[in-house]
Amino acid sequence: MTIRLLIVDDDPLVRAGLTLMLGGAEELEIVGEGADGREVPELVARHAPDVVLMDIRMPDVDGLTATELLRARPGAPEVVVLTTFHADEQVLRALRAGAAGFVLKDTPPAEIVAAVRRVAAGDPVLSPAVTRQLMTHVAGQPEHSPRAAAGGRLAELAEREREVAVAVGRGLANAEIAAELYMSVPTVKTHVSRVLAKLGLNNRVQIALLVHDAGLLDENRGDNP
């Protein structure tokens, strides 16, 4: 299956470099380029990409706003944000807006290709180590820890769905969740889909952030020293 990729960055040299580096990758087709977030809706409508590689900092409409607007639409492509920071506030806001993950601008081309493939397959581009770093960044900012509200939303879940949500928050892959909770991988996928639908979320990254906000990762560490 060919993955259709749209690149959005205000720096023409960055766009040219990404096009050159990624254009020859198997199963990857660069269908368009944009220089600002305001161009994204029209480019997506014209080229129907599977994944958008989106710069965060752009002068007119930034990548955060463009991501929020794009991911609010039905059938929207996945978004991977481009950044120069590991745990920047803008990255966290983009993830909350529905981005499936992020890659650093100095990431080797092969890893960017792998990230695009993962996102196109429905997996977030956040390793457990990066997830922990982001959660630590969030924990240092009280205004981003609405525990009661997050806990209320997660209370809508059935017990098994809640267990799966916590496992997603810990950065576990579907196979790891299946082994830990003694269920099949297809059952895990079903639970994840139900969690997303019940909570009105776009992807696993948003599940992880909500679980963190509710304090469930702290509870889990306490139960499993």
**Which range scores top for mean pLDDT: 33-42, 75-84, 193-202, 206-215?**
33-42
Q: For residue 139, what pLDDT is reported?
A: 56
- Strand arrangement, sheet containing 28-34: 28-34, 3-8, 51-55, 78-83, 101-104
Residue with tokens 């059938």: 75
Four-CA torsion 213, 98, 93, 221, nearest 10 degrees:
30
Q: pTM here?
A: 0.70
Q: Select from 160, 159, 152, 150 the least CA-distant residue to 207.
A: 150
Lowest-pLDDT range of 49-53, 64-68, 88-92, 166-170: 88-92
C-alpha to C-alpha distances, 73 to 25, 31, 77, 183, nearest whole angstrom: 29, 20, 9, 33
Core vs surface per residue 128-141: b (16+ CB within 10 A) or e:
eebbeebbebbeee
Answer yes or no: are the C-beta atoms of 87 and 134 closer than 8 Å: yes
pLDDT at 29 over 90: yes
3-state secondary structure at position 143: helix
| C-alpha to C-alpha distance for 128 and 117, rounded to whole angstroms | 18
Which of the four pLDDT bands, split at 50, 70 and 90, describes residue 202? confident
Give the pLDDT mean for 108-135.
Answer: 75
pLDDT at 130 over 90: no
Answer yes or no: are the C-beta atoms of 66 and 37 closer than 8 Å: yes
| pLDDT per position as a tens digit, 67-114 | 989 988 888 899 998 887 665 677 778 887 888 888 888 888 888 888
Q: For residue 221, what pLDDT is reported?
A: 47
Q: Where are the alpha helices (DSSP H) in the chain?
A: 12-22, 40-47, 63-71, 89-97, 109-120, 128-139, 147-154, 159-169, 174-181, 185-199, 204-213, 216-223
Give the pLDDT mean for 4-8.
Answer: 96
52 compared with 144, residue with greater pLDDT: 52
Enter the tokens of residue 185: 């991988």
Q: For residue 135, what pLDDT is reported?
A: 59
